[in-house]
């Protein structure tokens, strides 16, 4: 089983990185092939909105890391995305990446109806938020991040296997019990 981990946190030792790290360890222990990508390390030009990629099935911008990530998504069986909450949504770097990947995530019929290109693949979504629980959910902070990611992946054909939101990380960084929950998520694959 090929697992692709997209880490959308700019902090190499932050909560998202630690959560994804234990998932990666567990996946490797289980014999899975794991590729991990830090989105903040990528060089991805913003989408120009020209829509040429929808007919050409390729981006007209010069090749950069967006095409490399799209190849990794195409080869994975499971996509794990960890994203901190930025204003109730995913970080801009991750949004820019997905904007550039639209032609490789979702096609469309002649009538303009979206057609998923990744049917049969699974995804797991993780988000952290400094807003304390349960307000991170009620005020759609971490919930907003998960919602935005779910929307992209749903139209791309991914089945969301699990989501996990951790609130209040400013005062209570991710610890043992929470990290164990992430290990169990990967074991269920």
What pLDDT does residue 30 have? 95
Contacts of 25-28 spanning 24+ positions with Cβ under 8 A: 25/183, 26/182, 26/183, 26/186, 26/187, 27/3, 27/186, 27/189
pLDDT (mean) for 52-65: 93
Q: What pLDDT band is residue 168 in, cutting at 50, 70 and 90? A: confident
pTM above 0.85, yes or no: yes
Q: Say whether 187 sits in a helix, a strand or coil.
A: helix
Q: List phi, psi (to 5°) of 169.
A: -75, -10
- How is residue 76 written in tokens? 């994975």
The pLDDT of residue 44:
98
Residue 176: the pLDDT is 86
Q: Two tokens at 90?
A: 């995913």
Quick one: which H or E segment has residue 2?
Answer: strand 2-7
CB atoms inside a 10 Å sphere around CB 115: 12
CB distance 164 to 185 below 8 Å: yes
Count, residues in the chain? 189
Mean pLDDT of 49-65: 93
Question: Which CB contacts under 8 angstroms, 24+ apart, belong to 57-61?
Answer: 57/103, 57/104, 58/103, 59/100, 59/103, 61/100
pLDDT (tens digit per residue) in 112-159:
888 999 999 999 999 999 988 888 888 888 999 999 999 999 999 999
- Between the ranges 66-80, 102-116, 125-139, where is the mean pLDDT highest? 66-80
What gap in Å lies between CA 160 and CA 2, rounded to an integer? 16
| 171: Cα separation from own chain's centroid | 25
The pLDDT of residue 128: 95
């Amino acid at each position: 089983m090929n697992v692709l981990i997209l880490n959308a946190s700019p902090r190499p030792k932050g909560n998202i990185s630690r959560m994804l790290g234990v998932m990666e360890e567990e996946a490797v222990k289980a014999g899975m092939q794991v590729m991990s990508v830090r989105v903040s390390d990528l060089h991805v030009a913003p989408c120009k909105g020209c829509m040429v990629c929808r007919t050409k099935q390729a981006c007209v911008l010069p090749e950069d890391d967006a095409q490399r990530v799209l190849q990794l998504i195409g080869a994975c069986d499971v996509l794990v995305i960890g994203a901190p909450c930025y204003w109730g949504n995913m970080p801009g770097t991750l949004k820019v990446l997905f904007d550039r990947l639209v032609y490789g995530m979702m096609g469309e019929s002649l009538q303009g109806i979206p057609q998923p290109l990744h049917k049969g693949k699974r995804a797991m979504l993780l988000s952290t938020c400094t807003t304390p629980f349960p307000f991170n959910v009620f005020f759609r902070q971490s919930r907003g991040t998960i919602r935005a990611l779910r929307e992209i992946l749903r139209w791309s054909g991914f089945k969301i296997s699990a989501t996990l939101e951790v609130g209040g990380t400013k005062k209570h960084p991710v610890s043992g019990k929470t990290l164990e929950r992430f290990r169990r998520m990967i074991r269920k694959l």
